A and B are shown apart, each in its own frame.
Chain A
Amino acid sequence: MGKVKVHRTPPSLDMTPMVDLAFLLVTFFMLTTTFAPEEPVAVDIPKSVSEIILPDNDRMIITVANDGRVFFDMDNKNHRREMLQTIGQKYSVSFTEEEIKSFAILAGFGVPVRNLPQFLAMPPDERKQVVQPGIPVDSLNNELADWVVYARMSNPKLRVAVKGDRGANYDIVKKVVETLIERKVLRFNLITGLEQEV
């Protein structure tokens, strides 16, 4: 006794079940994952106990940043193209095919219409560096109203959601809400995170 037996065969183990599981999980995550859309500005959303889930399609999101800048976002590339063309006609700003293409895949933006061609001409990584001034919502120059109108013209099924930063001043939010009401958008969603009730 006390003799140690030397293993001749190298320790091998059947990895097949593990690999099966790994690929199963990979497939699952690949299919379920949706990449978080790129945000033009970081927004800290307020919390509520509301559990309505925002639909993934046909939505328009108006973001109000902490410092009061307003951003606009809408899904669906085709509708975005259509919207940009009509708004270009209204403001007599012409967009090249390149610019329209890059607008279609753009995330939210906060640039006045006149500066839009210049903004779209930039390469994407340069665009991130630029501090966007926000969409004007003043009563004299309310471009947000036009965006809302033309977005709804290109897609009548659109749902409107307002995504405000918790620290945003109410007077900006009030302007946005009043703009929506004036354009007959009376039912909209406020995006909130889920609050854990204590």
Chain B
Amino acid sequence: MTQNPYLWLIPTLPLAGAAINGFLGRRSSKTAVTIVALTFPGLAFALALKIALGFSWEAAPYVFNLAHWIRSGSAGLPNYFTADFAFYLDQLSLVMLLVVTGVGFLIHIYSVGYMSDDPSYYRFFTYLNLFMFFMLTLILANNYLVMFIGWEGVGLASYLLIGFWFTKDSAASAGKKAFIVNRIGDFGFLIALFLMIQHFGSLTFTEVFSKVQPLGVEHSSAGVLTAIGILLMLGACGKSAQIPLYVWLPDAMEGPTPVSALIHAATMVTAGVYMVARSHVIFERAPIALTVVAITGTLTALFAATIGITQTDIKKVLAYSTVSQLGYMFMACGVGAFSAGIFHLMTHAFFKGLLFLGAGSVIHAVGGEQDMRKMGGLRSYIPWTTAVMGVATLAIAGIPPFAGFWSKDEILWKAYQGSWIYWLIGVITAFLTSFYMFRLLFMTFAGDYRGAKVDEHGHASHGHGHDGHGEPHESPMVMLIPLMILAVLSIFGGLVGIGNGFEHFLAPVFGAGSEAATGETAGRGMEFLLMGVSILVALGGAILAWVLYVSKPYLPQKIAAGLGTFYNAVLNKYYVDEIYAKLFVKPLVDGSTSILWQGVDRKVIDDTVNNAADGARHVSDEVRHMQSGNLRSYAGWIAAGAAVVIAYMIWLGAR
């Protein structure tokens, strides 16, 4: 443990950027907004790099306590509970820190080009900086409560950015959907926190884990650790879009594309994986919870990949691909290979960020069109984008030596050690991944351009969504440079995993390479065999995509017709949204309408108030006749009252 007083600056810098742009951005020039928006995340990235370069194994973890927050009870007693604004940096958070600040900064740069025509330019960067603040808080937290601040905060930023174009109805409702679905997961997270407070009296990572450490593994019985684990996983399901709470992520593509890249692919959605990995001490002692994680991840990976095959919206394909890849990460965590999960998280951030930014560049090029059926042949118009998209596709498909290969293969190998079923589903998913990614690549860049071309207007007016967009055109340099940097990372980012280098780096966090040492010699041959299988499968997917979408483009139609209802089910995303609407949304809406609104609100609350007022008016209506102005009637009332008083006194006396 070493104090590092710079830690708190890393999240705070983007917050300062958000504050400056948020309060002054409306009246500042675009250049000023750009400078502020880029400087602060850039500084955060520089600071993260400085810390990373000076990172010492002996000194780790670095901690810094910024301020007291909650103090309850008295020290020494069992009811003592504290939670501070404190930061914690170990190897795990360092990886996340570099990914988030690095990829985040690149996407900030890209956004300068992508959003340059938007009237709410300053608002976009305010939200983006705000997101960086919360995400860094989440990563650098030293207890679950501060993590929860970041957790909720990134949810807020995500909501704001999905609904960035809030005048569009679909964007506004997609934002709401994301927020509400995430609430369900957060509910589980919160309950898990309460359980921790109840049983361990603390939320600080080190304290909770030191109290969990001596507890035995809950093998046969399911106890509190299992409960905490499953509830944490529920939270992770919400944030990281796993079954059953993945439905918000595809809709989140309503947001601007850089947002999809940063929040809904590279960083925020991986928060769940990070949280599960961070809680590995708990999960390792709760095998049932771990199995839940593994099964959820595996099923999600397969499920989302199948949907990805049928989508025609370029961003939707990538969204389902993200869900599927997140499933891989959970699969890794579920079989206890946390470092493999984090490794994939990192490489995924590179290539999925690149894919989304590339898709953004494509959308930019064709004037806001997102339907791949109206693209095609773009390789000659936008060669740079084509090249980086090709790199990213190779990376995600798992072709060596690109980044995705190393991490995905690591996961599949670890999954095989867990159970061959995980491995089999993983390999099938890898095949599907390769297929739908090459399908995207071929549909977009190969063949002839199928979109509408209006030659007259040419390049003079290239606002987004205009009809007269002219020919597809390459994006400006400010967008291409981040793409190229990410492309380089997608190519070489996986090499850190060679020889289990990445695993060794994370070993202080996850324990000293638990099975790496034991299983290594025995399974080396097996590992190479499995590696060969996954490469073959990836190539197979690519070849199949080439056959179906380049050489024989009439075939997909036939296959789709042949599959009939099954194809329709997949095309409609297995009707999950419809089922949720019938099962949860409609009863809630109906119940709210008939019981809460018509029943409680109108019949009980409104009627109570109205009837009280009506009653008062009726009574007064009657009583006001007593106030006649007739003197003798007043005297009569006085006499009657006096008579009553006297009668009462007589009765009292006579008693």
Do the two chains bind? no
